[in-house]
Structure 1
């Protein structure tokens, strides 16, 4: 039973001969560490990227998301596919190279093909990494040209938060949405979702005539409503930090005619000048992110929502992550070693 659970969790298919033989000899439990590492290195672990990572990050929606064609004529199916492939390849690298899960928040590398490098304004870094036009097609449909691993020149890019897949699905078709982006960070990375908005609060677009200035200035006027202020104080600064990225993830310094101000202050008093500094703050909240990712992956592994009686197992996994430099393999080994996973009802 453990062999099947492990295999369907990591590979989304039946166990191979090695797993079955170990299980028949009663040795799988003793070799769980080595088997997890073997399985994560196997191409079949792409299924964990496809079925867990894309679901956790909510970027499968990119397949049907349609930015306004008049405003974003460069957004086509090739670019859409490249955005998804960047995230797939990046998550797979963290997984296969057994990197720290904190690199998901900020990293000094990513994967780009030529269209995505142009989109990001990173053609020099792309060429420095050996990328060139016409090197062949991506192994994935719709991905455009071949992907290469690119070292990022500064902290504004790097990690999931500044990948176009995430930035696009957390936008509206015509503009960015700091609220959606801030909410996404709270829900998907920090495990601290805000409550639903109060009823009868007019949408920002409905107040266009009354509100003026940049999107940030209009939102600050909009949230003068006391019913909105407390939740927006948590969400908006997180979203404003990424205003330098437009609704399809391109870097920009202006919102129309207005200069962009990506600085902010979090409710706890921590300040940041832009996305690079905010990512450092988020990386500093190691336990919070580790707990959130543990809960998300454990929910996926168990095929059910977590209950109060799962809390001791989650606490133990977070402690083990801290003790092992937040390594990706530790997260998986501890989940499959936990009582909720081993004693899971069929």
Structure 2
């Protein structure tokens, strides 16, 4: 199956890129529904799946709205207001979804789902109240699955946007559209997409095009068409294969001379988000000492804290990554 999206000069002028946290929510949640660990995200999935099962998110609202394959409810992916969206703004947009759109999306979802979840009936009957529950669950999912890793994911997505923008400046929009994905091509003012499960044409959507890089969409592209908003196309970001590789920590001796060996050791351990208890076990420090050091590191902007059920996960920031990378590493 092939679909075509025609472009006028105005459509091309209104084509833009944006990073969207909600696209990462829906694509990552769908990926976690697969029985086997995804090859590109195995390290992440093995850390996250136990947390989701413990929180019951495998049988909640997201499980009802995000099937393993096929159609995704369009209201879960509101149009980002700017180039680098933030989760609170997108959740607010979801809560503002008109009841008519919620019901229209559910009609499509139920028609394509063999055994629709009972929660969908409640969402249809009381959309405003149910959307509050949906967004609350999304916040929980974010804290467990994406928040601790977001600086790393966002860095990848922003790098893709900057790369594509530079390519547009150097080679033009047609060149960039032809390089997005093997199933997407540009020719004579038309964007062609093959093997699409949902139609996407100019008659059913607004002007322009919103291109959204995703860390979890691979190996496919996903689309959203809701008039009068611009159509959205989520595509695999560049560099996904290196996303979960351990970050360089070769400069620990130099950093330890400034921060002390215990705090430097904790930063090195935090290549993977961990709780205070886990860090104490791995580092050999007492839980009280780890907590004290983490407070200092957090105040200095070197770690972030994320609520995960009854515990808190700490993650290294990009500033800490830079500190732990030897001067000149990665340069020619």
Tell me the TM-score normalised to structure 1 length.
0.25
TM-score (norm 2): 0.26
**Which gives a bigger RCO, structure 1 or 2 (Cα 8 Å, sep 6+)?**
2
Instruction: Answer 1 or 2: which has greater strand percent.
Output: 2
